[in-house]
Structure 1
Amino acid sequence: MGSTLTDILDAAAHGRFPSPDGGTTVVPQPSCRDAGVIAFTGHSVVFTDEDPQWVRRTLASVDCDPLAATMNPRFLGALLDHTRRSMDTIDLLTVASSLDGPPPLPLTELADAGHPRELRARRRRDDIRVWAAEGGVVVLGRGVAGRWEAATEVDDGCRHRGLGRALATAARHLVPDGDPVWAQQAAGNARSVRAFQAAGFRPVGAEALLLAT
Protein backbone atom coordinates (compact mmCIF):
# COMPACT_ATOMS: atom_id res chain seq x y z
CA MET A 1 0.00 0.00 0.00
CA GLY A 2 1.23 3.49 -0.80
CA SER A 3 2.52 5.88 1.84
CA THR A 4 0.38 8.88 0.82
CA LEU A 5 -3.34 9.35 0.35
CA THR A 6 -2.75 10.04 -3.34
CA ASP A 7 -1.03 6.65 -3.73
CA ILE A 8 -3.83 4.87 -1.87
CA LEU A 9 -6.56 6.51 -3.94
CA ASP A 10 -4.75 5.89 -7.22
CA ALA A 11 -4.45 2.21 -6.35
CA ALA A 12 -8.12 1.98 -5.32
CA ALA A 13 -9.20 3.59 -8.58
CA HIS A 14 -7.53 0.68 -10.35
CA GLY A 15 -8.99 -1.99 -8.09
CA ARG A 16 -6.05 -2.40 -5.67
CA PHE A 17 -7.21 -1.93 -2.12
CA PRO A 18 -5.54 -2.00 1.30
CA SER A 19 -5.31 -5.45 2.83
CA PRO A 20 -8.53 -6.26 4.76
CA ASP A 21 -6.56 -6.85 7.95
CA GLY A 22 -8.78 -4.86 10.29
CA GLY A 23 -6.14 -2.15 10.63
CA THR A 24 -6.05 1.61 10.31
CA THR A 25 -3.45 3.58 8.37
CA VAL A 26 -2.81 7.19 9.37
CA VAL A 27 -1.34 9.42 6.67
CA PRO A 28 -0.72 13.18 6.48
CA GLN A 29 -3.33 15.46 5.00
CA PRO A 30 -2.77 16.03 1.27
CA SER A 31 -3.56 19.73 1.82
CA CYS A 32 -4.57 22.14 4.57
CA ARG A 33 -8.15 21.90 3.33
CA ASP A 34 -8.62 18.13 3.21
CA ALA A 35 -8.80 15.90 6.28
CA GLY A 36 -11.00 12.93 7.01
CA VAL A 37 -11.49 9.19 7.03
CA ILE A 38 -11.97 6.61 4.27
CA ALA A 39 -13.16 3.15 5.26
CA PHE A 40 -12.37 0.43 2.74
CA THR A 41 -13.33 -3.21 3.23
CA GLY A 42 -11.60 -4.31 6.43
CA HIS A 43 -9.16 -1.38 6.52
CA SER A 44 -9.45 2.35 7.17
CA VAL A 45 -7.33 5.35 6.27
CA VAL A 46 -7.34 8.46 8.44
CA PHE A 47 -5.80 11.48 6.71
CA THR A 48 -4.92 14.15 9.21
CA ASP A 49 -1.96 16.18 10.41
CA GLU A 50 -2.81 15.35 14.02
CA ASP A 51 -0.55 13.06 16.05
CA PRO A 52 -1.03 9.46 14.81
CA GLN A 53 -0.67 8.22 18.39
CA TRP A 54 -3.60 10.41 19.43
CA VAL A 55 -5.64 8.92 16.58
CA ARG A 56 -4.81 5.37 17.68
CA ARG A 57 -5.49 6.03 21.37
CA THR A 58 -8.83 7.57 20.51
CA LEU A 59 -9.79 4.66 18.27
CA ALA A 60 -8.86 2.21 21.03
CA SER A 61 -11.18 4.02 23.44
CA VAL A 62 -14.24 3.58 21.21
CA ASP A 63 -16.45 0.79 22.55
CA CYS A 64 -17.48 -0.93 19.33
CA ASP A 65 -16.36 -3.48 16.75
CA PRO A 66 -12.81 -2.39 15.80
CA LEU A 67 -13.73 -2.73 12.13
CA ALA A 68 -16.32 0.02 12.61
CA ALA A 69 -14.33 2.29 14.94
CA THR A 70 -13.18 4.88 12.40
CA MET A 71 -16.75 5.58 11.30
CA ASN A 72 -18.23 5.40 14.78
CA PRO A 73 -19.83 8.71 15.86
CA ARG A 74 -17.72 8.75 19.05
CA PHE A 75 -14.45 8.70 17.11
CA LEU A 76 -15.63 11.12 14.44
CA GLY A 77 -16.94 13.47 17.12
CA ALA A 78 -13.62 13.36 18.96
CA LEU A 79 -11.73 13.99 15.71
CA LEU A 80 -13.98 16.92 14.84
CA ASP A 81 -13.53 18.46 18.29
CA HIS A 82 -9.76 17.90 18.24
CA THR A 83 -9.31 19.45 14.79
CA ARG A 84 -12.02 22.12 15.21
CA ARG A 85 -13.55 21.06 11.93
CA SER A 86 -17.09 20.22 10.80
CA MET A 87 -18.64 17.63 8.51
CA ASP A 88 -21.89 17.02 6.72
CA THR A 89 -22.39 13.26 6.45
CA ILE A 90 -20.69 9.97 5.78
CA ASP A 91 -20.71 9.41 2.01
CA LEU A 92 -20.49 6.40 -0.23
CA LEU A 93 -17.25 6.88 -2.19
CA THR A 94 -17.38 5.77 -5.83
CA VAL A 95 -15.05 5.92 -8.83
CA ALA A 96 -15.23 5.37 -12.59
CA SER A 97 -12.77 5.36 -15.45
CA SER A 98 -12.92 8.07 -18.09
CA LEU A 99 -14.70 7.49 -21.40
CA ASP A 100 -13.74 8.62 -24.88
CA GLY A 101 -16.00 10.55 -27.20
CA PRO A 102 -18.69 13.15 -26.57
CA PRO A 103 -21.09 13.05 -23.61
CA PRO A 104 -24.43 11.27 -24.12
CA LEU A 105 -26.46 14.50 -24.05
CA PRO A 106 -26.03 18.13 -25.18
CA LEU A 107 -24.14 20.25 -22.66
CA THR A 108 -23.22 23.92 -22.43
CA GLU A 109 -20.29 24.97 -20.26
CA LEU A 110 -21.15 27.81 -17.90
CA ALA A 111 -18.82 30.49 -16.54
CA ASP A 112 -19.50 31.72 -12.99
CA ALA A 113 -22.87 30.04 -13.05
CA GLY A 114 -23.64 30.70 -9.39
CA HIS A 115 -25.61 27.46 -9.26
CA PRO A 116 -26.07 26.16 -5.67
CA ARG A 117 -24.26 22.96 -6.60
CA GLU A 118 -21.31 25.00 -7.91
CA LEU A 119 -21.20 27.19 -4.80
CA ARG A 120 -21.20 24.10 -2.58
CA ALA A 121 -18.43 22.54 -4.67
CA ARG A 122 -16.17 25.59 -4.32
CA ARG A 123 -15.83 24.91 -0.60
CA ARG A 124 -14.47 21.44 -1.31
CA ARG A 125 -12.79 21.57 -4.72
CA ASP A 126 -10.50 23.57 -6.99
CA ASP A 127 -10.57 24.12 -10.77
CA ILE A 128 -14.37 23.99 -10.84
CA ARG A 129 -16.10 23.59 -14.20
CA VAL A 130 -19.86 23.49 -14.70
CA TRP A 131 -21.93 22.25 -17.65
CA ALA A 132 -25.68 22.65 -18.04
CA ALA A 133 -28.11 20.32 -19.77
CA GLU A 134 -31.82 20.79 -20.15
CA GLY A 135 -33.03 20.10 -16.62
CA GLY A 136 -29.74 19.69 -14.79
CA VAL A 137 -26.04 20.40 -14.32
CA VAL A 138 -22.83 18.42 -13.93
CA VAL A 139 -19.89 19.83 -11.95
CA LEU A 140 -16.24 18.73 -12.09
CA GLY A 141 -13.44 19.86 -9.80
CA ARG A 142 -10.28 18.73 -8.07
CA GLY A 143 -11.08 17.54 -4.58
CA VAL A 144 -9.35 15.34 -2.00
CA ALA A 145 -5.68 14.74 -2.90
CA GLY A 146 -6.25 16.43 -6.26
CA ARG A 147 -8.59 13.74 -7.55
CA TRP A 148 -11.26 14.73 -10.08
CA GLU A 149 -14.69 14.69 -8.44
CA ALA A 150 -18.10 14.92 -10.08
CA ALA A 151 -21.45 16.09 -8.78
CA THR A 152 -24.80 16.42 -10.51
CA GLU A 153 -28.09 18.16 -9.90
CA VAL A 154 -31.43 17.40 -11.57
CA ASP A 155 -34.34 19.86 -11.51
CA ASP A 156 -37.40 18.62 -9.66
CA GLY A 157 -39.56 18.61 -12.77
CA CYS A 158 -37.06 16.50 -14.74
CA ARG A 159 -36.64 13.56 -12.39
CA HIS A 160 -37.42 9.92 -13.23
CA ARG A 161 -36.29 10.33 -16.86
CA GLY A 162 -32.75 8.97 -16.62
CA LEU A 163 -31.21 12.45 -16.61
CA GLY A 164 -29.20 11.82 -13.43
CA ARG A 165 -27.61 8.75 -14.98
CA ALA A 166 -26.86 10.66 -18.19
CA LEU A 167 -25.24 13.53 -16.29
CA ALA A 168 -23.11 11.13 -14.24
CA THR A 169 -22.08 9.37 -17.45
CA ALA A 170 -21.24 12.74 -18.99
CA ALA A 171 -18.74 13.36 -16.20
CA ARG A 172 -16.79 10.33 -17.39
CA HIS A 173 -16.48 11.93 -20.85
CA LEU A 174 -15.60 15.36 -19.49
CA VAL A 175 -12.79 14.47 -17.08
CA PRO A 176 -9.48 15.57 -18.66
CA ASP A 177 -6.29 13.61 -19.24
CA GLY A 178 -7.96 10.21 -19.06
CA ASP A 179 -7.99 10.36 -15.26
CA PRO A 180 -10.50 8.44 -13.15
CA VAL A 181 -13.40 10.47 -11.82
CA TRP A 182 -14.69 10.15 -8.27
CA ALA A 183 -18.08 10.92 -6.77
CA GLN A 184 -19.55 10.86 -3.30
CA GLN A 185 -23.19 10.12 -2.54
CA ALA A 186 -24.89 10.37 0.82
CA ALA A 187 -25.82 6.82 1.78
CA GLY A 188 -29.46 7.80 2.27
CA ASN A 189 -29.73 9.41 -1.17
CA ALA A 190 -30.75 6.21 -2.91
CA ARG A 191 -31.73 8.04 -6.10
CA SER A 192 -28.21 9.47 -6.50
CA VAL A 193 -26.59 6.15 -5.58
CA ARG A 194 -28.61 4.36 -8.27
CA ALA A 195 -27.86 7.02 -10.88
CA PHE A 196 -24.09 6.94 -10.39
CA GLN A 197 -23.90 3.17 -10.26
CA ALA A 198 -26.01 2.94 -13.42
CA ALA A 199 -23.45 5.30 -15.00
CA GLY A 200 -20.63 2.88 -14.16
CA PHE A 201 -19.33 4.31 -10.88
CA ARG A 202 -18.05 1.53 -8.59
CA PRO A 203 -18.36 1.72 -4.79
CA VAL A 204 -14.94 1.59 -3.13
CA GLY A 205 -15.66 2.63 0.45
CA ALA A 206 -17.16 5.17 2.82
CA GLU A 207 -15.77 8.66 3.33
CA ALA A 208 -16.14 11.23 6.11
CA LEU A 209 -14.71 14.54 4.93
CA LEU A 210 -13.78 17.03 7.65
CA LEU A 211 -14.29 20.63 6.59
CA ALA A 212 -12.27 23.57 7.82
CA THR A 213 -14.48 26.04 9.66
Structure 2
Amino acid sequence: MTPTPDRTHRSLATLLVDAADGRFPEPDGTWIRVAPWRPGVEAVVAFTGFAVLAVDGPVPGPVDGFGGAHDPRLIAALAGPDGWIDSLDAVLVARGTGGPPVLVGRPDLVGHPRAAFARAVRDDVRVLGRPTGDEIAVLGRGIAGLTELSMEVPPAVRGGTGRAMVRDALASVTAGDVVVAACAPGNAASLRTLLAAGFVPVGSSQLFRRASASQ
Protein backbone atom coordinates (compact mmCIF):
# COMPACT_ATOMS: atom_id res chain seq x y z
CA MET A 1 0.00 0.00 0.00
CA THR A 2 1.45 3.39 -0.98
CA PRO A 3 1.30 6.40 1.35
CA THR A 4 -1.92 8.41 1.16
CA PRO A 5 -1.17 11.61 -0.83
CA ASP A 6 -3.84 13.80 0.79
CA ARG A 7 -2.37 13.19 4.24
CA THR A 8 1.31 13.88 3.59
CA HIS A 9 0.91 17.50 4.72
CA ARG A 10 0.09 16.42 8.27
CA SER A 11 3.20 16.40 10.42
CA LEU A 12 3.77 13.72 13.02
CA ALA A 13 3.91 16.39 15.72
CA THR A 14 0.44 17.58 14.70
CA LEU A 15 -0.89 14.02 14.81
CA LEU A 16 0.50 13.50 18.32
CA VAL A 17 -0.83 16.83 19.59
CA ASP A 18 -4.22 15.98 18.12
CA ALA A 19 -4.08 12.55 19.77
CA ALA A 20 -3.37 14.22 23.11
CA ASP A 21 -6.72 15.97 22.64
CA GLY A 22 -8.47 12.74 21.67
CA ARG A 23 -8.46 13.35 17.90
CA PHE A 24 -6.95 10.39 16.04
CA PRO A 25 -6.33 9.64 12.36
CA GLU A 26 -8.96 7.66 10.49
CA PRO A 27 -8.22 3.96 11.24
CA ASP A 28 -8.41 2.90 7.59
CA GLY A 29 -5.10 1.06 7.33
CA THR A 30 -3.27 3.80 5.42
CA TRP A 31 0.13 5.31 6.15
CA ILE A 32 2.08 8.45 5.40
CA ARG A 33 5.74 9.28 5.03
CA VAL A 34 7.33 12.30 6.74
CA ALA A 35 10.87 13.61 7.10
CA PRO A 36 12.82 12.38 10.16
CA TRP A 37 12.86 14.90 12.99
CA ARG A 38 16.57 14.31 13.78
CA PRO A 39 19.38 13.60 11.32
CA GLY A 40 20.41 9.95 11.48
CA VAL A 41 17.42 8.83 13.56
CA GLU A 42 14.41 7.39 11.73
CA ALA A 43 11.24 5.83 13.06
CA VAL A 44 8.02 3.97 12.50
CA VAL A 45 5.13 5.38 14.54
CA ALA A 46 1.70 3.75 14.60
CA PHE A 47 -1.73 4.76 15.79
CA THR A 48 -4.86 2.61 15.65
CA GLY A 49 -5.19 1.59 12.01
CA PHE A 50 -2.79 4.27 10.77
CA ALA A 51 1.00 4.55 10.55
CA VAL A 52 3.69 7.17 9.98
CA LEU A 53 7.15 6.38 8.61
CA ALA A 54 9.69 9.08 9.40
CA VAL A 55 12.35 7.85 7.00
CA ASP A 56 15.01 9.17 4.63
CA GLY A 57 15.62 6.18 2.39
CA PRO A 58 13.45 3.90 0.26
CA VAL A 59 10.59 2.01 1.88
CA PRO A 60 10.38 -1.67 0.94
CA GLY A 61 6.81 -2.85 0.59
CA PRO A 62 4.31 -3.79 1.53
CA VAL A 63 3.35 -1.42 4.37
CA ASP A 64 -0.03 -0.90 5.98
CA GLY A 65 -1.49 0.83 9.00
CA PHE A 66 -3.08 -2.30 10.43
CA GLY A 67 0.06 -3.41 12.26
CA GLY A 68 2.11 -4.05 9.13
CA ALA A 69 4.24 -0.96 9.77
CA HIS A 70 5.69 -2.73 12.82
CA ASP A 71 6.40 -5.98 11.00
CA PRO A 72 9.90 -6.96 12.23
CA ARG A 73 10.89 -7.74 8.64
CA LEU A 74 10.08 -4.18 7.59
CA ILE A 75 12.07 -2.49 10.35
CA ALA A 76 14.99 -4.85 9.69
CA ALA A 77 14.91 -4.01 6.00
CA LEU A 78 14.74 -0.27 6.72
CA ALA A 79 17.68 -0.34 9.14
CA GLY A 80 19.77 -2.71 7.06
CA PRO A 81 21.82 -5.67 8.29
CA ASP A 82 24.24 -3.49 10.28
CA GLY A 83 21.82 -0.85 11.50
CA TRP A 84 20.64 -0.17 15.05
CA ILE A 85 17.03 -0.92 16.01
CA ASP A 86 15.52 0.23 19.29
CA SER A 87 12.80 -1.63 21.16
CA LEU A 88 9.18 -1.33 20.11
CA ASP A 89 7.68 1.14 22.57
CA ALA A 90 4.26 2.33 23.60
CA VAL A 91 3.91 6.10 23.09
CA LEU A 92 2.14 8.03 25.82
CA VAL A 93 1.34 11.73 26.10
CA ALA A 94 0.69 14.24 28.86
CA ARG A 95 0.90 18.02 29.14
CA GLY A 96 3.33 20.23 30.97
CA THR A 97 1.96 21.79 34.11
CA GLY A 98 4.41 24.67 34.47
CA GLY A 99 4.74 26.57 37.71
CA PRO A 100 7.79 26.83 39.95
CA PRO A 101 10.17 24.00 39.00
CA VAL A 102 10.63 21.35 41.66
CA LEU A 103 13.53 19.50 40.06
CA VAL A 104 16.99 20.98 39.56
CA GLY A 105 19.73 20.45 37.02
CA ARG A 106 21.95 17.51 37.94
CA PRO A 107 25.22 17.73 35.97
CA ASP A 108 26.58 14.95 38.16
CA LEU A 109 24.09 12.56 36.52
CA VAL A 110 24.91 13.35 32.87
CA GLY A 111 26.82 10.08 32.63
CA HIS A 112 23.81 8.03 33.71
CA PRO A 113 22.81 5.47 31.01
CA ARG A 114 19.35 7.06 30.78
CA ALA A 115 20.92 10.44 29.98
CA ALA A 116 23.47 8.95 27.59
CA PHE A 117 20.75 7.20 25.58
CA ALA A 118 18.71 10.41 25.45
CA ARG A 119 21.65 12.36 24.02
CA ALA A 120 22.03 9.74 21.28
CA VAL A 121 18.47 10.12 19.99
CA ARG A 122 17.23 13.53 21.21
CA ASP A 123 18.32 17.16 21.17
CA ASP A 124 18.53 19.85 23.86
CA VAL A 125 18.70 17.24 26.63
CA ARG A 126 18.24 18.38 30.23
CA VAL A 127 19.16 16.09 33.12
CA LEU A 128 17.07 16.82 36.19
CA GLY A 129 16.61 15.42 39.66
CA ARG A 130 16.17 16.35 43.27
CA PRO A 131 19.03 18.21 44.97
CA THR A 132 20.17 14.87 46.41
CA GLY A 133 19.51 11.25 45.49
CA ASP A 134 19.93 9.15 42.36
CA GLU A 135 16.44 9.61 40.86
CA ILE A 136 16.77 11.02 37.35
CA ALA A 137 14.39 12.69 34.90
CA VAL A 138 15.56 13.53 31.39
CA LEU A 139 13.79 16.04 29.15
CA GLY A 140 14.73 16.72 25.54
CA ARG A 141 13.46 17.29 22.03
CA GLY A 142 12.53 13.77 21.00
CA ILE A 143 9.77 12.08 19.02
CA ALA A 144 8.49 14.40 16.28
CA GLY A 145 10.46 17.28 17.81
CA LEU A 146 8.17 17.35 20.84
CA THR A 147 9.38 17.37 24.42
CA GLU A 148 10.12 13.80 25.49
CA LEU A 149 10.49 12.56 29.05
CA SER A 150 12.33 9.54 30.38
CA MET A 151 13.09 8.75 33.99
CA GLU A 152 14.55 6.17 36.31
CA VAL A 153 14.26 5.53 40.02
CA PRO A 154 16.55 3.17 41.94
CA PRO A 155 14.72 0.02 43.11
CA ALA A 156 15.36 0.85 46.76
CA VAL A 157 13.17 3.98 46.64
CA ARG A 158 10.34 2.76 44.42
CA GLY A 159 6.75 2.80 45.62
CA GLY A 160 5.46 6.22 44.59
CA THR A 161 8.77 7.99 44.05
CA GLY A 162 8.65 7.48 40.29
CA ARG A 163 5.15 8.87 40.05
CA ALA A 164 6.23 11.98 41.95
CA MET A 165 9.29 12.37 39.72
CA VAL A 166 7.16 12.28 36.58
CA ARG A 167 4.75 14.87 37.96
CA ASP A 168 7.62 17.09 39.07
CA ALA A 169 9.24 16.75 35.64
CA LEU A 170 6.01 17.91 34.01
CA ALA A 171 6.24 21.03 36.18
CA SER A 172 9.51 21.80 34.34
CA VAL A 173 7.60 22.01 31.04
CA THR A 174 5.53 25.00 29.97
CA ALA A 175 1.91 24.53 30.99
CA GLY A 176 -0.12 23.01 28.17
CA ASP A 177 2.81 21.83 26.05
CA VAL A 178 2.51 18.21 24.94
CA VAL A 179 5.08 15.84 26.46
CA VAL A 180 5.66 12.36 25.05
CA ALA A 181 7.12 9.30 26.74
CA ALA A 182 8.16 6.04 25.09
CA CYS A 183 7.99 2.91 27.21
CA ALA A 184 8.59 -0.74 26.35
CA PRO A 185 5.30 -2.58 27.01
CA GLY A 186 7.15 -5.19 29.05
CA ASN A 187 8.47 -2.52 31.41
CA ALA A 188 5.34 -2.76 33.53
CA ALA A 189 6.76 -0.72 36.42
CA SER A 190 7.51 2.31 34.23
CA LEU A 191 4.30 1.94 32.27
CA ARG A 192 2.20 1.87 35.42
CA THR A 193 4.13 4.86 36.79
CA LEU A 194 3.45 6.94 33.67
CA LEU A 195 -0.24 6.01 33.67
CA ALA A 196 -0.58 6.85 37.36
CA ALA A 197 1.08 10.24 36.76
CA GLY A 198 -1.46 11.18 34.09
CA PHE A 199 0.06 9.98 30.82
CA VAL A 200 -2.28 8.29 28.35
CA PRO A 201 -1.30 5.86 25.55
CA VAL A 202 -1.84 7.05 21.97
CA GLY A 203 0.29 4.77 19.80
CA SER A 204 3.61 3.00 19.39
CA SER A 205 7.05 3.78 18.02
CA GLN A 206 10.28 2.11 17.03
CA LEU A 207 13.44 4.09 16.36
CA PHE A 208 16.21 2.88 14.10
CA ARG A 209 19.47 4.11 12.64
CA ARG A 210 20.92 2.91 9.38
CA ALA A 211 24.50 1.68 9.48
CA SER A 212 25.67 4.65 7.40
CA ALA A 213 24.23 7.05 10.01
CA SER A 214 26.03 5.25 12.84
CA GLN A 215 29.49 5.68 11.34
In 2 relative to 1, CA 100–132 (structure 1 residues): closer, same or farther, beyond 3 Å? closer
Which of 30, 33, 41 lines up with 2:40 in the alignment? 33
Q: Could you tell me how far apart the structure 2 residues matched to 1:92 and 1:144 are? A: 12
Matched residue of 1:8: which SS?
Answer: helix
Cα pair 2:98 2:174 within 8 Å, conserved: no
Which of 164, 178, 198 lines up with 2:196 in the alignment? 198
1:172 alignment partner in structure 2: 170
Aligned residue type for 2:86 = D
- In the TM superposition, residue 206 of structure 1 has moved relative to its aligned partner by 0.8
Q: Deviations over 1:48-90 (max 9, x none)?
A: 1223xx44x2437xxxxx71211111111111118x6311210
1:85 alignment partner in structure 2: 83
- In the TM superposition, residue 158 of structure 1 has moved relative to its aligned partner by 1.0
The answer as to 2:104 corresponding to 1:108 is yes
In 2 relative to 1, CA 31–152 (structure 1 residues): closer, same or farther, beyond 3 Å? closer
The answer as to 2:154 corresponding to 1:155 is yes
- In the TM superposition, residue 195 of structure 1 has moved relative to its aligned partner by 0.0
Q: Deviations over 1:82-133 (max 9, x none)?
A: 8x63112100100101114346xx5332136322211111101111111223
The structure with the greater share of residues assigned to helix is 1
Consecutive unaligned residues of structure 1, counting only runs of 5 or more, are 61-65
Cα pair 2:135 2:154 within 8 Å, conserved: yes
Consecutive unaligned residues of structure 2, counting only runs of 5 or more, are 1-6
Q: Could you tell me how far apart the structure 1 residues matched to 2:146 and 2:204 are? A: 16
2:13 alignment partner in structure 1: 6
Cα pair 2:99 2:172 within 8 Å, conserved: no
Q: Could you tell me how far apart the structure 1 residues matched to 2:68 and 2:37 are? A: 23
Q: Could you tell me how far apart the structure 2 residues matched to 1:85 and 1:8 are? A: 27
- In the TM superposition, residue 12 of structure 1 has moved relative to its aligned partner by 2.3
Q: Could you tell me how far apart the structure 1 residues matched to 2:161 and 2:45 are? A: 29
The answer as to 2:22 corresponding to 1:15 is yes
Q: Deviations over 1:125-144 (max 9, x none)?
A: 11111122334111111112
Summarize the alignment of residues 69-148 of structure 1 with structure 2, pairs less than 5 Å apart: 69-81=68-80, 85-102=83-100, 107-111=103-107, 113=109, 114-133=111-130, 134-148=133-147
Q: Could you tell me how far apart the structure 2 residues matched to 1:122 and 1:165 are? A: 23
Q: In percent, how many aligned pairs have the same letter?
A: 39
- In the TM superposition, residue 43 of structure 1 has moved relative to its aligned partner by 0.8
Q: Could you tell me how far apart the structure 1 residues matched to 2:163 and 2:67 are? A: 31
Q: Could you tell me how far apart the structure 1 residues matched to 2:42 and 2:192 are? A: 27
Report the RMSD for the aligned CA atoms in angstroms.
2.1
Cα pair 2:42 2:208 within 8 Å, conserved: yes
Q: Could you tell me how far apart the structure 2 residues matched to 1:144 and 1:110 are? A: 23
Aligned residue type for 1:48 = V
